[in-house]
Amino acid sequence: MLRLDDVHAYYDESHVLRGVTLHVDAGEVVTLVGRNGVGKTTTLRTIIGIVRARAGTILFEDQPIQTLSSDRVAQLGIGFVPEERGIMSTLSVYENLTLPPVVGTNAWPLEKIYDAFPILKMRARAAGTTLSGGEQQMLAIARVLRSGSRLILLDEPTEGLAPVIVEQIGEVIREIKKHGVTILLVEQNVRFATGVADRHYLMAHGCIVESLTNAEMLSRQTELLEHLGV
């Protein structure tokens, strides 16, 4: 579904991505794992078009997208959930879900959203400012599903959340995977990553240094925790 081949990206003249190559198959959950500052978030921002790739190719369903604007990439079926979540705080849960345009043919109807996220149905009239961190994360994910995204780029969904909420987010990811949604996930929590993902890419210094199956990740968990410093 998604393939990056030798992708390079910069912030001004700072060379951040140095030849990133990876792929994500349809229906997979794949993680990007690495220390802070190695280019994980920049990889997602480059895929969605917020950061422009200066070299290399990005293919979504065999279509080159590295020159497209962010709105055009979203229309093709890629949704981005940033670490800060981007909830419209003064609007209700219902308004957050229904005001953004539906751009894909696979858009989840509101009833399906509420089935998958019962808490959002319970809090439908609540303003974004009143939601907990976990509820905001669920709303951010639900919003891209509502828009019709088939591939979700999910940036640090567990950051700052209590362990019980982290487990809820894991259940959400496993549930939407059952519906055929593909996810590329940036995550520093190795234990969480191995609980939801099929495969993992280890990043360092702006490039992919290793590709691991989930079994390989589990067998090397202690080593990787030391490497990541978490």
**DSSP codes, 181-212:** -EEEEE-S-HHHHHHH-SEEEEEETTEEEEEE
Question: What integer pLDDT is reported at residue 223 of this predicted model?
Answer: 76
Q: How confident is the model at residue 229 (pLDDT cuts 50, 70, 90)?
A: low
The closest alpha carbon to 41, from 69, 13, 20, belongs to 20
Question: What integer pLDDT is reported at residue 227 of this predicted model?
Answer: 67
Mean pLDDT of 136-149: 91
* pLDDT(160) > 90: no
CATH of the domain at 114: 3.40.50.300
128: CB partners within 8 A, 6+ apart: 87, 88, 89, 90, 91, 92, 93, 96, 136, 139
Tokens found for residue 35: 């220390």
* pLDDT(53) > 70: yes
Say if residues 46 and 17 touch (Cβ distance below 8 Å). Answer: yes
Say if residues 197 and 221 touch (Cβ distance below 8 Å). Answer: no
Q: How many domains, in total, are found in the chain?
A: 1
Say if residues 69 and 141 touch (Cβ distance below 8 Å). Answer: no
| Residue entry with tokens 């959340």 | 161
- Residue 37, φ and ψ in degrees, nearest 5: 85, 10
pTM above 0.85, yes or no: yes
Question: What integer pLDDT is reported at residue 29 of this predicted model?
Answer: 96
Which of 34-43, 72-81, 187-196, 218-227 has the weakest average pLDDT?
218-227
**Which range of residues forms the domain containing residue 49?**
2-228
